[in-house]
Amino acid sequence: MEKILLAHGGGGSQSAELTRRVFQRFLRDPLLLEMDDAARLPASGQVFTTDSFVVRPLFFPGGDIGRLAVCGTVNDMAVMGAEPLYLSIGFIIEEGLDIARLQKILASIAVACRQSGARIVCADTKVVEKGKADGLFINTAGIGRPAFRKPVHAGRVRPGDAVLLNGPLGLHGISVLTARGEFGLQGSIRSDVAPLWGLVRTCRALDVPFMRDPTRGGLAQTLNELAQGREFGVRIHEEELPIPKKVAAVCDLLGFDPLHVANEGKVVMVVARRDAEKALALLRRHPLGRLARRIGEITAADPGRVVMATRTGSERIVMPPAGEILPRIC
C-alpha cells in the first residue's frame, strides 16, 4: 500500500508526481490542468487562487504564519500580473492555543493586508482536539484583477529575454529553520516574507512574459518549471546571484544548495530584452527591489534546461531539489 510521504509535500518532483498520478485522475478541470499559480477565470477575466499554511514555528524572525498566509496568496496573484482584490481566510486551530498568540497573528494579518491592498472579505474557523493539529493551520484564497498591459504568459518567453530577481535568496527558509533552534543555530536571519504586488505593479506597462515567486524548491524549482518542456533554456550567472553570507554558511553546514531554499518575498521576472533596463530601474526604486539585478537570460541553447555559469568559468546544470529538504517551511 503506497502512502503519502513528507517528500510528496515538498513542491518538487515528487509533489508533481503525486499531482499527476493521484489528483489529476479525479480533478481534471482544464483551468486546473494549466497548473499556473492562479486560475484565469474566463467569465470575469479575474484570477483565483488558494494556498494553505502549516509553517512551524508559528513565529519566526521577520514574520509569522499570518503574514505568510496573506503574502503567499497575494504573491500567487501578483506573479500572474494581477492586482490582489479579495481574500478568504480559514483557520484550523488546535485546542489550547493561546488567544494572545492568535491575536498577534491576526494583527500581522491586518498589517499584511494593508500593505498588499487586498481585503479579507470572508472567513471561517474550526477548532480540533489537542494533538490533532500543530497550533494553527491557515488557508487563504484570493481573487485578483489582471493589470499588466501585455499578458504574463510563459508561452511568450523568447530567447534573449532577461531574467531579473529583486533581491537576496534563501532568507525565508533559513530564517524558519534557525527559528526552530535545530542544529544549535540561532535565528539572526530574517525572513523576506512580503507582499509583492506593490513591487511588480511598477512594471505593469512593460513586456513581462513570465513572473514567479520562488517559494518551495527555491530559484532552482522556479527556473526549471519555466524551462521544462520548452524550446528555450535558462542561463544564470553564479556571480550575479545574491546569496547572503549567513545563508551560504548555513547551507554549507547542512549540505543544502541555496538555490533550493524557499523565499517568500522574491520574484523572478522574465522581461523582454528591450525593457530589461527599464524594469531594473523601476524595481530598484521600490523598497522591495533595491537590490534587484539581472541574474541571467533565456537562451536558445540547452532547451528545457537551466544552466549556471559558475565562478570558475565552468558551468553546471541546475536541477530542482529531489524530495523534501525542509518540511513545513510555509
Which chain residues interact with other proteins by CB under 8 A?
Answer: 3-7, 12-14, 17, 182-184, 252, 255, 257, 307, 310-317, 319, 322-323
**Smaller CB distance to other proteins: residue 274 or 316?**
316
DSSP state of 271: E
DSSP state of 198: H
Q: What's the closest the beta carbon of residue 178 comes to other proteins, in angstroms?
A: 12
Q: What's the closest the beta carbon of residue 322 comes to other proteins, in angstroms?
A: 3
**Smaller CB distance to other proteins: residue 188 or 312?**
312
Q: What's the closest the beta carbon of residue 180 comes to other proteins, in angstroms?
A: 10
**Smaller CB distance to other proteins: residue 13 or 139?**
13
Q: Is the CB of residue 208 less than 8 Å from the CB of residue 153?
A: no
Q: Is the CB of residue 78 less than 8 Å from the CB of residue 211?
A: yes
Q: What's the closest the beta carbon of residue 12 comes to other proteins, in angstroms?
A: 7
Residue of 295, 317, 316 lying closest to 236 (CA atoms): 295
Q: What's the closest the beta carbon of residue 92 comes to other proteins, in angstroms?
A: 22
Detail the DSSP E strand segments found in 265-311.
Answer: 268-271, 293-299, 306-309
Ramachandran sector of residue 129 (left: φ over 0; alpha: ψ -120 to 50; beta: rest): beta
**Spatial distance between the Cα atoms of 163 and 311, rounded to a whole number of angstroms:** 18
**Spatial distance between the Cα atoms of 303 and 227, rounded to a whole number of angstroms:** 7
**Smaller CB distance to other proteins: residue 29 or 239?**
239
**Smaller CB distance to other proteins: residue 155 or 184?**
184
Detail the DSSP E strand segments found in the chain.
Answer: 39-40, 47-53, 59-60, 63-64, 82-94, 119-128, 136-146, 162-165, 210-212, 233-237, 268-271, 293-299, 306-309, 315-317
Q: What spatial distance separates the first Cα and last Cα of the chain, rounded to whole Å?
A: 29
Q: What's the closest the beta carbon of residue 307 comes to other proteins, in angstroms?
A: 8
Taken as a whole, the chain contains a residue count of 330
Q: What's the closest the beta carbon of residue 236 comes to other proteins, in angstroms?
A: 13
DSSP for 113-146, written as a single string: HHHHT-EEEEEEEEEE-TTSSSSEEEEEEEEEEE
Q: Is the CB of residue 234 less than 8 Å from the CB of residue 112?
A: no
Helix axes 65-78, 99-116, angle to 10 degrees: 20
**Smaller CB distance to other proteins: residue 42 or 313?**
313
**Smaller CB distance to other proteins: residue 108 or 224?**
224
**Smaller CB distance to other proteins: residue 184 or 229?**
184
Q: What's the closest the beta carbon of residue 316 comes to other proteins, in angstroms?
A: 4
